[in-house]
Structure 1
């Protein structure tokens, strides 16, 4: 489902891509071109299709902290379940869980960063500023 927003250029209304597309496919939140990421996890500076400056958005480390804590909880529960149900040797835990944790965090980080940037764009979020008189 796409949302219709007034076009800043004055040409009626523009159709914004859904925010989840920015994370899943790396789509620009304004035009939908797949130009959001320069590398797997690094944002491009700007969209070559519409000129939106991605560097103006402050995604920060929020997604990393949230994903690490959430996935860490899930991995801990899974490790306890494995230990209590199968009682594998300790080296199985040492080999399995760091790889699973790293893969889950890095794999979902791109989606979380793209989604957060798209939501900042859609909601016109920005850092607080003190107005000078």
Structure 2
């Protein structure tokens, strides 16, 4: 009296997805699948599908994680620099306004596309949010 579970998933055509390669290709702002097509159509707008291989990317849900990571990294770097400057030299507070404030704005903005690409690559490699061929979302839903 065994229970039989049947699935309609075709297990013969399972695509191997390397997490490291997908993150690296995404960080280079390229398609995590083929590495040839551009991942972004503008600054942070992900293409709906890869122009080279046709992989769909409208499934991605990077949301607030890329800015959080960028601010986390830049904040730690700048606080470390500021602490070092205070221990080594006597720094006028306006020095921070003219140096650290612009860096606190420019550095996260420069890092965001690569971080978002890496997050999309991670989601693709782990088959999250519709990247699993067995559980596809329909475009526009």
Give the TM interval when normalised to the shorter protein.
Answer: 0.7 to 0.9
**1:21 and 2:25 correspond:** yes
Partner Cα distance (2:101, 2:57) in 1: 32
3-state SS of paired residue (2:25): helix
Q: Give the structure with the larger strand fraction.
A: 1
- Normalised to the residue count of structure 2, the TM-score between the two structures is 0.70
- What's the counterpart of residue 117 of structure 1? 120
Higher Rg of the two aligned structures: 2
The equivalent residue for 2:77 is 74
Deviation at 1:38, TM superposition (A): 1.0
User: Which runs of 5 or more residues in structure 2 are unaligned?
Assistant: 1-10, 136-141
Contact 2:37-2:52 at 8 Å conserved across structures: no
1:37 to 36, 40, 53: 40
Give the Cα separation in 1 of the matches to 2:53 and 2:125: 15
1:64-103 alignment, distance < 5 Å = 64-103=67-106
Shift in Å, 1:83: 2.3
Cα distance in 2 between the residues matched to 1:21 and 1:111: 9
Q: Write the distance in 2 (CA, Å) between the matches of 1:114 and 1:93.
A: 31
Aligned-residue Cα RMSD (Å) equals: 2.8
Tell me, in whole angstroms, the C-alpha distance in 2 between the residues paired with 1:49 and 1:22. Answer: 15
- Structure 1 window deviating more from structure 2 (34-43 vs 112-121): it is 34-43
- Note the alpha carbon deviations across 1:63-96, whole angstroms, 9 max, x for none: 2112212321221121121123122222111010
Q: Which protein has greater RCO, CA pairs closer than 8 Å, 6+ apart? A: 2
